[in-house]
Amino acid sequence: MFKQIKDLAGGEFYLIASLLIFMAFFIMVGIYLIKMNKTHIIEMSNLPINEPQPDEYEEV
């Protein structure tokens, strides 16, 4: 398996670039989630529960 990766003849640039893009994306998402406002997270997690229910005579 490693022999096939080693014999790419210039293709290793694409492997390294894709790995770096993959890692950068998930690091940025992780930083975004850590810095996200905690009250916003709580509000969004309760959103489906706190939706106003229609009255029984009201059409949907």
- Domain assignment present for 21: yes
pLDDT for 54 equals 66
- Domain assignment present for 52: no
pLDDT by residue for the chain (60 residues), tens only, comes to 566 666 666 777 888 889 999 999 999 999 999 999 999 888 888 877 666 666 666 565
- Domain assignment present for 38: yes
- Domain assignment present for 54: no
Whole domain around residue 26: which residue ranges? 2-45
**Rounded CA separation 9/51 (Å):** 58
pLDDT for 45 equals 84
Task: Report the domain count for the chain.
Answer: 1
12-51: burial string, b at 16+ Cβ within 10 Å, e else: eeeeeeeeeeeeeeeeeeeeeeeeeeeeeeeeeeeeeeee
- Domain assignment present for 58: no
